[in-house]
Amino acid sequence: MKTLSPRHLLTASVLAVTVGLGIAGAQQATTDVSPEASQQAQEAANNNQPLGANVTDGANPQAAQASFADLVEKVSPAVVNITTTSVVTQPAGGQGPMFPEGSPFSDLFRDFGFPGMPGPDGQQRRMPQRSNALGSGFVISADGYIVTNNHVIDGADEIEVEFYSGNTLPAEVVGTDPNTDVAVLKVESDDPIPFVKFGDSDVARVGDWVLALGNPLGQGFSASTGIVSARNRELSGTYDDYLQTDAAINRGNSGGPLFDMNGDVIGVNTAILSPNGGSIGIGFSMASNVVSKVVNQLREYGETRRGWLGVKIQDVTPDMAEALGLSEEQGAMVTDVPDGPAKDAGMKSGDVITSFDGAEVEDTRGLVRRVAEAPAGEAVDVIVQRDGEPVTLSVTLGRREVAEGNEAPSADPQAPSESELLGMTLSTLTPEIAAELGIDGDVQGLAVKSVDPEGVAADKGLAAGDIITEAGQQPVASVSDLNDRIDEAREAGRKSLLVLIRRAGEPRFVALPIPQAD
Protein backbone atom coordinates (compact mmCIF):
# COMPACT_ATOMS: atom_id res chain seq x y z
CA MET A 1 0.00 0.00 0.00
CA LYS A 2 1.37 3.36 -0.99
CA THR A 3 2.38 5.55 1.93
CA LEU A 4 0.50 8.83 2.17
CA SER A 5 2.45 11.99 2.81
CA PRO A 6 1.38 13.44 6.21
CA ARG A 7 1.70 17.00 4.97
CA HIS A 8 -0.96 16.30 2.35
CA LEU A 9 -3.32 14.36 4.64
CA LEU A 10 -5.81 16.80 6.13
CA THR A 11 -8.74 16.41 8.46
CA ALA A 12 -11.90 17.55 6.76
CA SER A 13 -12.71 20.32 9.22
CA VAL A 14 -12.79 24.11 9.18
CA LEU A 15 -11.16 26.35 11.78
CA ALA A 16 -11.74 30.10 11.99
CA VAL A 17 -10.21 32.47 14.57
CA THR A 18 -11.94 35.76 15.25
CA VAL A 19 -10.86 38.75 17.30
CA GLY A 20 -13.09 40.79 19.60
CA LEU A 21 -16.83 40.23 19.24
CA GLY A 22 -16.92 38.96 15.67
CA ILE A 23 -17.75 35.25 15.37
CA ALA A 24 -17.68 33.34 12.11
CA GLY A 25 -20.51 30.89 11.47
CA ALA A 26 -21.94 28.65 8.81
CA GLN A 27 -24.12 30.32 6.22
CA GLN A 28 -27.78 29.38 6.48
CA ALA A 29 -28.65 26.99 3.66
CA THR A 30 -31.99 27.19 1.88
CA THR A 31 -33.94 24.05 2.71
CA ASP A 32 -34.89 21.82 -0.25
CA VAL A 33 -36.83 19.30 1.84
CA SER A 34 -40.50 19.40 0.97
CA PRO A 35 -43.13 19.74 3.72
CA GLU A 36 -44.23 16.18 2.91
CA ALA A 37 -40.70 14.84 3.38
CA SER A 38 -40.28 16.79 6.61
CA GLN A 39 -43.55 15.35 7.89
CA GLN A 40 -42.46 11.83 6.92
CA ALA A 41 -39.14 12.34 8.69
CA GLN A 42 -40.87 13.45 11.88
CA GLU A 43 -43.31 10.54 11.69
CA ALA A 44 -40.37 8.15 11.33
CA ALA A 45 -38.75 9.70 14.41
CA ASN A 46 -42.01 9.43 16.36
CA ASN A 47 -42.16 5.74 15.40
CA ASN A 48 -38.45 5.26 16.24
CA GLN A 49 -37.64 4.30 12.65
CA PRO A 50 -34.47 5.37 10.80
CA LEU A 51 -34.71 7.52 7.70
CA GLY A 52 -34.08 6.06 4.27
CA ALA A 53 -35.67 2.70 5.03
CA ASN A 54 -37.99 2.90 1.99
CA VAL A 55 -35.93 5.10 -0.27
CA THR A 56 -35.33 2.45 -2.94
CA ASP A 57 -38.89 1.05 -2.96
CA GLY A 58 -37.75 -2.31 -4.30
CA ALA A 59 -35.50 -0.89 -7.02
CA ASN A 60 -31.87 -1.89 -7.41
CA PRO A 61 -30.10 0.69 -5.21
CA GLN A 62 -26.86 0.37 -7.22
CA ALA A 63 -28.47 0.89 -10.63
CA ALA A 64 -27.43 3.96 -12.61
CA GLN A 65 -28.93 6.98 -10.91
CA ALA A 66 -30.77 9.66 -12.85
CA SER A 67 -31.02 11.67 -9.64
CA PHE A 68 -30.03 11.39 -6.00
CA ALA A 69 -32.73 13.85 -4.97
CA ASP A 70 -35.01 11.25 -3.39
CA LEU A 71 -32.19 9.88 -1.25
CA VAL A 72 -31.03 13.35 -0.20
CA GLU A 73 -34.57 14.37 0.70
CA LYS A 74 -35.06 11.24 2.79
CA VAL A 75 -31.89 11.32 4.92
CA SER A 76 -30.96 15.02 5.14
CA PRO A 77 -33.18 15.79 8.20
CA ALA A 78 -30.78 13.62 10.25
CA VAL A 79 -27.61 15.46 9.12
CA VAL A 80 -26.38 18.37 11.25
CA ASN A 81 -23.88 21.20 11.20
CA ILE A 82 -21.71 21.52 14.29
CA THR A 83 -20.16 24.75 15.55
CA THR A 84 -17.77 24.67 18.49
CA THR A 85 -16.49 27.64 20.43
CA SER A 86 -13.38 27.87 22.58
CA VAL A 87 -11.22 30.66 23.94
CA VAL A 88 -7.52 30.41 23.09
CA THR A 89 -4.54 32.61 23.80
CA GLN A 90 -2.74 33.84 20.70
CA PRO A 91 -0.11 36.51 20.05
CA ALA A 92 -1.88 39.84 19.84
CA GLY A 93 -2.55 40.59 16.21
CA GLY A 94 -1.50 43.70 14.36
CA GLN A 95 1.35 46.05 15.09
CA GLY A 96 1.49 48.64 17.85
CA PRO A 97 1.88 52.35 17.17
CA MET A 98 5.23 53.47 15.77
CA PHE A 99 7.37 55.78 17.91
CA PRO A 100 10.82 57.27 17.36
CA GLU A 101 13.69 55.33 18.91
CA GLY A 102 14.00 56.18 22.60
CA SER A 103 10.57 57.88 22.80
CA PRO A 104 9.06 57.78 26.32
CA PHE A 105 5.71 56.84 24.75
CA SER A 106 7.28 53.60 23.54
CA ASP A 107 8.17 52.66 27.13
CA LEU A 108 4.71 53.70 28.33
CA PHE A 109 2.84 51.47 25.91
CA ARG A 110 5.29 48.63 26.49
CA ASP A 111 4.86 48.79 30.29
CA PHE A 112 1.07 48.71 30.02
CA GLY A 113 1.05 45.85 27.50
CA PHE A 114 -0.27 47.57 24.39
CA PRO A 115 -1.37 44.84 21.92
CA GLY A 116 1.32 43.99 19.41
CA MET A 117 4.19 45.37 21.52
CA PRO A 118 6.56 43.36 23.75
CA GLY A 119 6.20 43.78 27.48
CA PRO A 120 8.94 44.64 29.99
CA ASP A 121 10.17 41.04 29.84
CA GLY A 122 10.58 41.24 26.08
CA GLN A 123 7.71 38.83 25.42
CA GLN A 124 4.91 39.82 23.09
CA ARG A 125 1.58 40.28 24.85
CA ARG A 126 -1.01 37.61 24.16
CA MET A 127 -4.73 38.20 24.04
CA PRO A 128 -7.64 35.82 24.55
CA GLN A 129 -9.34 35.11 21.24
CA ARG A 130 -12.48 33.25 20.33
CA SER A 131 -11.97 30.26 18.06
CA ASN A 132 -14.77 28.67 16.04
CA ALA A 133 -14.50 25.22 14.48
CA LEU A 134 -17.05 24.05 11.94
CA GLY A 135 -17.88 20.44 11.20
CA SER A 136 -20.67 18.01 10.49
CA GLY A 137 -22.44 15.10 12.16
CA PHE A 138 -25.53 12.91 12.02
CA VAL A 139 -28.25 11.79 14.42
CA ILE A 140 -28.37 8.07 15.22
CA SER A 141 -31.34 7.89 17.61
CA ALA A 142 -34.65 9.64 18.15
CA ASP A 143 -33.57 10.70 21.65
CA GLY A 144 -30.78 12.90 20.30
CA TYR A 145 -27.48 10.98 20.11
CA ILE A 146 -25.20 12.43 17.44
CA VAL A 147 -21.97 11.08 15.89
CA THR A 148 -19.15 13.31 14.67
CA ASN A 149 -15.34 13.39 14.60
CA ASN A 150 -13.41 13.85 17.81
CA HIS A 151 -11.20 16.52 16.23
CA VAL A 152 -14.31 18.61 15.47
CA ILE A 153 -15.21 19.02 19.15
CA ASP A 154 -11.83 18.48 20.84
CA GLY A 155 -11.12 21.27 23.35
CA ALA A 156 -14.46 22.99 22.76
CA ASP A 157 -16.04 25.09 25.52
CA GLU A 158 -19.43 25.18 23.79
CA ILE A 159 -20.99 22.96 21.11
CA GLU A 160 -24.00 24.01 19.05
CA VAL A 161 -25.83 21.70 16.66
CA GLU A 162 -27.76 23.14 13.72
CA PHE A 163 -30.35 20.90 12.11
CA TYR A 164 -31.35 20.94 8.46
CA SER A 165 -34.53 22.80 9.41
CA GLY A 166 -32.43 25.66 10.80
CA ASN A 167 -33.20 24.89 14.45
CA THR A 168 -30.24 24.86 16.83
CA LEU A 169 -29.64 23.04 20.12
CA PRO A 170 -26.71 22.96 22.54
CA ALA A 171 -24.92 19.62 22.78
CA GLU A 172 -22.97 17.82 25.49
CA VAL A 173 -20.14 15.34 24.92
CA VAL A 174 -21.08 11.77 25.84
CA GLY A 175 -17.70 10.25 25.04
CA THR A 176 -14.77 10.42 22.64
CA ASP A 177 -12.24 8.04 21.11
CA PRO A 178 -9.20 9.80 19.64
CA ASN A 179 -7.89 6.48 18.29
CA THR A 180 -10.68 6.30 15.71
CA ASP A 181 -11.44 10.05 15.78
CA VAL A 182 -15.04 9.41 16.86
CA ALA A 183 -17.15 11.45 19.28
CA VAL A 184 -20.71 11.00 20.49
CA LEU A 185 -22.80 14.04 21.45
CA LYS A 186 -26.25 14.37 23.03
CA VAL A 187 -28.92 17.03 22.55
CA GLU A 188 -32.16 17.35 24.48
CA SER A 189 -35.39 17.84 22.53
CA ASP A 190 -39.05 17.73 23.49
CA ASP A 191 -39.84 15.94 20.23
CA PRO A 192 -38.22 12.82 18.75
CA ILE A 193 -35.50 13.68 16.25
CA PRO A 194 -35.21 12.11 12.77
CA PHE A 195 -32.23 9.75 12.64
CA VAL A 196 -30.38 7.34 10.38
CA LYS A 197 -28.79 3.96 11.04
CA PHE A 198 -25.43 2.36 10.36
CA GLY A 199 -25.08 -0.02 7.43
CA ASP A 200 -22.60 -2.83 6.85
CA SER A 201 -19.41 -1.31 5.45
CA ASP A 202 -17.96 -4.77 4.80
CA VAL A 203 -20.40 -5.35 1.94
CA ALA A 204 -19.50 -2.07 0.21
CA ARG A 205 -17.67 -2.78 -3.05
CA VAL A 206 -15.30 -0.65 -5.07
CA GLY A 207 -17.50 1.10 -7.62
CA ASP A 208 -20.63 1.34 -5.44
CA TRP A 209 -22.43 4.70 -5.44
CA VAL A 210 -22.14 6.77 -2.25
CA LEU A 211 -23.54 10.10 -1.04
CA ALA A 212 -21.70 12.52 1.27
CA LEU A 213 -23.63 15.16 3.23
CA GLY A 214 -22.20 17.89 5.45
CA ASN A 215 -21.04 21.45 5.90
CA PRO A 216 -18.07 21.98 3.54
CA LEU A 217 -16.00 25.11 4.11
CA GLY A 218 -18.65 26.45 6.48
CA GLN A 219 -21.08 27.08 3.63
CA GLY A 220 -23.96 25.17 5.19
CA PHE A 221 -25.74 22.00 4.13
CA SER A 222 -24.32 20.45 0.95
CA ALA A 223 -24.46 17.12 -0.88
CA SER A 224 -21.89 15.41 -3.11
CA THR A 225 -21.83 12.01 -4.76
CA GLY A 226 -19.27 9.57 -6.06
CA ILE A 227 -18.22 5.95 -5.73
CA VAL A 228 -16.25 3.82 -3.31
CA SER A 229 -12.75 4.16 -4.79
CA ALA A 230 -10.98 1.71 -2.47
CA ARG A 231 -11.52 -0.24 0.75
CA ASN A 232 -9.50 -1.05 3.86
CA ARG A 233 -7.28 2.01 3.63
CA GLU A 234 -4.89 2.49 6.55
CA LEU A 235 -3.68 6.03 7.22
CA SER A 236 -1.94 6.34 10.58
CA GLY A 237 -3.82 4.66 13.42
CA THR A 238 -3.87 1.17 14.88
CA TYR A 239 -7.60 0.66 14.25
CA ASP A 240 -7.84 2.39 10.87
CA ASP A 241 -10.24 0.97 8.30
CA TYR A 242 -11.15 3.69 5.84
CA LEU A 243 -13.33 3.68 2.76
CA GLN A 244 -11.78 5.86 0.05
CA THR A 245 -14.21 7.83 -2.09
CA ASP A 246 -14.14 10.38 -4.89
CA ALA A 247 -17.28 12.08 -3.57
CA ALA A 248 -16.26 15.70 -2.97
CA ILE A 249 -15.19 16.03 0.67
CA ASN A 250 -13.76 19.33 1.86
CA ARG A 251 -12.87 20.92 5.17
CA GLY A 252 -16.03 21.17 7.19
CA ASN A 253 -17.29 17.75 6.06
CA SER A 254 -15.54 16.18 9.07
CA GLY A 255 -17.93 14.00 11.03
CA GLY A 256 -20.55 13.94 8.31
CA PRO A 257 -22.09 10.70 7.01
CA LEU A 258 -21.24 8.73 3.89
CA PHE A 259 -24.43 6.99 2.74
CA ASP A 260 -24.94 3.98 0.55
CA MET A 261 -27.90 3.95 -1.81
CA ASN A 262 -30.09 2.28 0.82
CA GLY A 263 -29.81 5.39 3.00
CA ASP A 264 -27.56 3.65 5.54
CA VAL A 265 -24.38 5.23 6.93
CA ILE A 266 -21.37 3.17 5.83
CA GLY A 267 -18.69 5.72 6.76
CA VAL A 268 -17.87 8.87 8.70
CA ASN A 269 -16.08 11.47 6.56
CA THR A 270 -12.78 12.22 8.28
CA ALA A 271 -9.85 13.17 6.06
CA ILE A 272 -8.77 14.14 2.56
CA LEU A 273 -5.54 13.72 0.64
CA SER A 274 -4.74 17.06 -0.94
CA PRO A 275 -1.70 19.18 -1.86
CA ASN A 276 -3.75 22.39 -1.73
CA GLY A 277 -6.32 21.91 1.06
CA GLY A 278 -9.24 21.34 -1.32
CA SER A 279 -10.92 18.23 -2.65
CA ILE A 280 -9.07 16.48 -5.47
CA GLY A 281 -11.26 13.38 -5.35
CA ILE A 282 -9.40 11.45 -2.64
CA GLY A 283 -11.40 11.41 0.58
CA PHE A 284 -11.49 8.97 3.47
CA SER A 285 -14.40 7.83 5.62
CA MET A 286 -13.91 5.66 8.70
CA ALA A 287 -15.82 2.43 8.02
CA SER A 288 -19.15 2.11 9.82
CA ASN A 289 -18.32 -1.34 11.18
CA VAL A 290 -15.50 0.25 13.17
CA VAL A 291 -17.45 3.36 14.15
CA SER A 292 -20.63 1.58 15.25
CA LYS A 293 -18.76 -0.58 17.79
CA VAL A 294 -17.01 2.48 19.23
CA VAL A 295 -20.29 4.41 19.36
CA ASN A 296 -22.04 1.60 21.23
CA GLN A 297 -19.32 1.58 23.89
CA LEU A 298 -19.30 5.37 24.22
CA ARG A 299 -23.08 5.43 24.65
CA GLU A 300 -23.02 2.64 27.23
CA TYR A 301 -19.88 3.48 29.21
CA GLY A 302 -18.81 6.97 28.12
CA GLU A 303 -15.45 5.45 27.12
CA THR A 304 -14.01 2.63 25.03
CA ARG A 305 -13.33 -0.80 26.48
CA ARG A 306 -11.07 -2.63 24.04
CA GLY A 307 -9.72 -6.11 24.46
CA TRP A 308 -6.02 -6.64 25.23
CA LEU A 309 -4.06 -9.78 24.39
CA GLY A 310 -0.68 -8.69 25.75
CA VAL A 311 1.81 -9.70 23.03
CA LYS A 312 4.29 -8.09 20.67
CA ILE A 313 3.75 -9.26 17.11
CA GLN A 314 5.00 -8.87 13.56
CA ASP A 315 3.82 -9.95 10.12
CA VAL A 316 4.90 -13.32 8.73
CA THR A 317 7.21 -12.88 5.73
CA PRO A 318 7.67 -15.49 2.97
CA ASP A 319 11.08 -16.44 4.38
CA MET A 320 9.64 -16.84 7.86
CA ALA A 321 6.76 -18.96 6.53
CA GLU A 322 9.22 -21.27 4.79
CA ALA A 323 11.45 -21.55 7.84
CA LEU A 324 8.47 -22.36 10.05
CA GLY A 325 6.96 -24.81 7.60
CA LEU A 326 3.78 -22.79 7.14
CA SER A 327 1.74 -23.39 4.01
CA GLU A 328 0.85 -19.69 3.69
CA GLU A 329 2.54 -16.44 4.63
CA GLN A 330 -0.22 -15.28 6.92
CA GLY A 331 -0.80 -14.94 10.64
CA ALA A 332 0.90 -12.90 13.34
CA MET A 333 4.32 -13.92 14.66
CA VAL A 334 4.65 -13.49 18.44
CA THR A 335 7.98 -11.82 19.21
CA ASP A 336 7.53 -11.24 22.94
CA VAL A 337 5.04 -12.23 25.64
CA PRO A 338 5.24 -9.89 28.65
CA ASP A 339 3.12 -10.38 31.75
CA GLY A 340 -0.52 -10.35 30.68
CA PRO A 341 -3.41 -12.46 29.41
CA ALA A 342 -1.45 -14.25 26.66
CA LYS A 343 1.34 -15.28 29.01
CA ASP A 344 -1.18 -16.51 31.57
CA ALA A 345 -2.74 -18.70 28.85
CA GLY A 346 0.61 -20.25 27.91
CA MET A 347 1.47 -18.35 24.73
CA LYS A 348 5.18 -18.29 23.87
CA SER A 349 7.55 -16.21 21.80
CA GLY A 350 7.82 -17.85 18.38
CA ASP A 351 4.17 -18.87 18.21
CA VAL A 352 2.31 -17.83 15.07
CA ILE A 353 -1.28 -16.76 15.76
CA THR A 354 -3.39 -18.16 12.93
CA SER A 355 -6.91 -17.90 14.38
CA PHE A 356 -8.58 -15.61 16.90
CA ASP A 357 -12.06 -16.24 18.27
CA GLY A 358 -12.99 -18.49 15.37
CA ALA A 359 -11.73 -16.28 12.54
CA GLU A 360 -8.52 -16.63 10.55
CA VAL A 361 -5.75 -14.11 11.19
CA GLU A 362 -4.23 -12.77 7.98
CA ASP A 363 -1.79 -10.23 9.40
CA THR A 364 -0.95 -8.16 12.49
CA ARG A 365 -3.26 -5.31 11.49
CA GLY A 366 -6.25 -7.62 11.32
CA LEU A 367 -5.39 -9.24 14.64
CA VAL A 368 -5.05 -5.90 16.43
CA ARG A 369 -8.48 -4.82 15.18
CA ARG A 370 -10.14 -8.11 16.13
CA VAL A 371 -8.64 -8.09 19.62
CA ALA A 372 -9.69 -4.47 20.14
CA GLU A 373 -13.27 -5.29 19.11
CA ALA A 374 -13.48 -8.31 21.43
CA PRO A 375 -15.05 -7.80 24.88
CA ALA A 376 -12.56 -7.37 27.70
CA GLY A 377 -12.84 -9.98 30.44
CA GLU A 378 -14.17 -12.74 28.19
CA ALA A 379 -12.34 -15.94 27.23
CA VAL A 380 -11.61 -16.51 23.52
CA ASP A 381 -9.96 -19.39 21.69
CA VAL A 382 -6.65 -18.49 20.04
CA ILE A 383 -4.99 -21.03 17.72
CA VAL A 384 -1.23 -20.81 17.30
CA GLN A 385 1.25 -22.77 15.22
CA ARG A 386 3.98 -24.15 17.50
CA ASP A 387 6.67 -26.56 16.30
CA GLY A 388 4.64 -27.22 13.18
CA GLU A 389 1.48 -28.19 15.08
CA PRO A 390 -1.66 -26.18 15.89
CA VAL A 391 -2.21 -25.45 19.59
CA THR A 392 -5.47 -24.03 20.96
CA LEU A 393 -5.22 -21.62 23.88
CA SER A 394 -8.06 -20.12 25.90
CA VAL A 395 -7.16 -16.50 26.63
CA THR A 396 -9.16 -14.27 28.96
CA LEU A 397 -8.65 -10.84 27.42
CA GLY A 398 -7.64 -7.87 29.53
CA ARG A 399 -8.67 -4.29 28.88
CA ARG A 400 -6.28 -2.23 26.78
CA GLU A 401 -7.10 1.11 28.41
CA VAL A 402 -6.31 -0.30 31.86
CA ALA A 403 -3.10 -1.93 30.62
CA GLU A 404 -1.92 1.31 29.03
CA GLY A 405 -2.82 3.33 32.13
CA ASN A 406 -0.99 1.08 34.56
CA GLU A 407 2.50 0.78 33.18
CA ALA A 408 5.14 -0.37 35.63
CA PRO A 409 6.63 2.70 37.32
CA SER A 410 10.28 3.57 36.90
CA ALA A 411 12.61 2.20 39.52
CA ASP A 412 14.02 5.70 39.98
CA PRO A 413 11.44 7.86 41.78
CA GLN A 414 13.13 10.94 40.32
CA ALA A 415 12.52 9.66 36.79
CA PRO A 416 8.75 9.30 36.27
CA SER A 417 7.46 7.61 33.12
CA GLU A 418 5.49 10.76 32.27
CA SER A 419 6.53 14.35 32.89
CA GLU A 420 6.13 17.96 31.77
CA LEU A 421 9.32 19.24 30.15
CA LEU A 422 10.19 21.92 27.58
CA GLY A 423 6.52 22.67 26.98
CA MET A 424 5.63 19.02 26.34
CA THR A 425 4.01 16.14 28.18
CA LEU A 426 6.42 13.26 27.64
CA SER A 427 5.94 9.57 28.28
CA THR A 428 8.37 6.68 28.11
CA LEU A 429 7.71 4.82 24.86
CA THR A 430 6.11 1.48 25.70
CA PRO A 431 5.22 -1.33 23.27
CA GLU A 432 1.55 -0.42 23.64
CA ILE A 433 2.15 3.24 22.82
CA ALA A 434 4.40 2.19 19.93
CA ALA A 435 1.59 0.01 18.58
CA GLU A 436 -0.84 2.93 18.84
CA LEU A 437 1.57 5.12 16.88
CA GLY A 438 2.22 2.41 14.31
CA ILE A 439 5.97 2.09 14.94
CA ASP A 440 8.31 -0.78 15.76
CA GLY A 441 7.84 -1.87 19.36
CA ASP A 442 11.62 -2.16 19.79
CA VAL A 443 12.18 1.57 19.28
CA GLN A 444 13.27 3.37 22.43
CA GLY A 445 12.54 6.99 23.16
CA LEU A 446 9.99 9.43 24.54
CA ALA A 447 6.49 9.84 23.15
CA VAL A 448 5.13 13.39 22.95
CA LYS A 449 1.63 13.05 24.40
CA SER A 450 0.69 16.73 24.21
CA VAL A 451 2.29 20.11 23.49
CA ASP A 452 1.67 23.40 25.26
CA PRO A 453 0.57 25.72 22.41
CA GLU A 454 2.45 28.58 24.06
CA GLY A 455 5.63 26.58 24.81
CA VAL A 456 9.00 26.35 23.09
CA ALA A 457 8.26 22.92 21.63
CA ALA A 458 5.17 24.21 19.82
CA ASP A 459 7.19 27.14 18.46
CA LYS A 460 9.59 24.62 16.92
CA GLY A 461 6.81 22.60 15.34
CA LEU A 462 6.66 19.58 17.65
CA ALA A 463 3.29 17.88 17.95
CA ALA A 464 1.56 15.08 19.82
CA GLY A 465 2.61 11.73 18.40
CA ASP A 466 6.23 12.73 17.75
CA ILE A 467 8.92 10.41 19.15
CA ILE A 468 12.14 11.83 20.63
CA THR A 469 14.89 9.23 20.15
CA GLU A 470 18.04 11.32 20.69
CA ALA A 471 19.05 14.45 22.56
CA GLY A 472 22.50 15.97 22.40
CA GLN A 473 23.28 13.23 19.85
CA GLN A 474 22.82 10.55 22.51
CA PRO A 475 19.94 8.05 22.80
CA VAL A 476 17.18 8.83 25.30
CA ALA A 477 14.90 6.18 26.75
CA SER A 478 13.44 8.04 29.73
CA VAL A 479 12.61 11.51 30.96
CA SER A 480 15.64 11.20 33.26
CA ASP A 481 17.88 10.74 30.20
CA LEU A 482 16.48 13.90 28.64
CA ASN A 483 16.98 15.84 31.87
CA ASP A 484 20.63 14.69 31.91
CA ARG A 485 21.15 15.94 28.34
CA ILE A 486 19.61 19.29 29.30
CA ASP A 487 21.97 19.59 32.28
CA GLU A 488 24.95 18.74 30.09
CA ALA A 489 23.96 21.39 27.56
CA ARG A 490 23.66 23.98 30.32
CA GLU A 491 27.07 23.07 31.73
CA ALA A 492 28.55 23.49 28.26
CA GLY A 493 27.05 26.98 28.06
CA ARG A 494 24.58 26.13 25.30
CA LYS A 495 21.19 27.81 25.01
CA SER A 496 19.53 25.03 23.04
CA LEU A 497 19.50 21.26 22.81
CA LEU A 498 19.58 19.32 19.55
CA VAL A 499 16.96 16.55 19.58
CA LEU A 500 16.13 13.96 16.95
CA ILE A 501 12.43 13.29 16.50
CA ARG A 502 10.61 10.79 14.36
CA ARG A 503 7.26 11.63 12.85
CA ALA A 504 5.48 8.98 10.77
CA GLY A 505 8.83 7.17 10.62
CA GLU A 506 10.73 10.14 9.19
CA PRO A 507 13.66 11.59 11.23
CA ARG A 508 14.15 15.29 11.80
CA PHE A 509 16.52 17.29 14.00
CA VAL A 510 15.12 20.17 16.05
CA ALA A 511 17.01 22.63 18.26
CA LEU A 512 14.93 23.28 21.39
CA PRO A 513 15.70 26.30 23.59
CA ILE A 514 16.39 25.21 27.16
CA PRO A 515 15.69 27.23 30.31
CA GLN A 516 18.80 28.50 32.01
CA ALA A 517 19.54 27.49 35.59
CA ASP A 518 18.83 30.07 38.30
Q: Which residues are catalytically annotated?
A: 151, 181, 254
Nearest to 206 by CA among 232, 230, 242, 233: 230
Burial profile 324-348: b = 16 or more Cβ within 10 angstroms, e = fewer: bebeebbbbbbeebeebbbbebebe
What separation in angstroms does the CA of 271 have from each of 13, 92, 123, 354, 444?
A: 8, 31, 37, 33, 30
Is the Cβ–Cβ distance between 516 and 495 less than 8 Å? yes
Nearest to 125 by CA among 91, 102, 169, 166: 91
**CA 93 to CA 112: how far, in whole Å?**
16
Q: Dump strand ranges (E) for 69-221.
A: 79-91, 126-139, 145-149, 158-163, 168-170, 172-177, 182-186, 209-214
Q: How far apart are the first and last CA of the chain?
A: 52
d(C-alpha 292, C-alpha 296), whole Å:
6
Long-range contacts of 61-64 (CB under 8 A, 24+ apart): 61/209, 61/260, 61/261, 61/262, 62/208, 62/209, 62/261
DSSP E strand boundaries for 64-120: 79-91
In the 8-state DSSP scheme, what is residue 5?
A: P
- The closest of 516, 503, 384, 353 to 439, measured between CA atoms, is 503
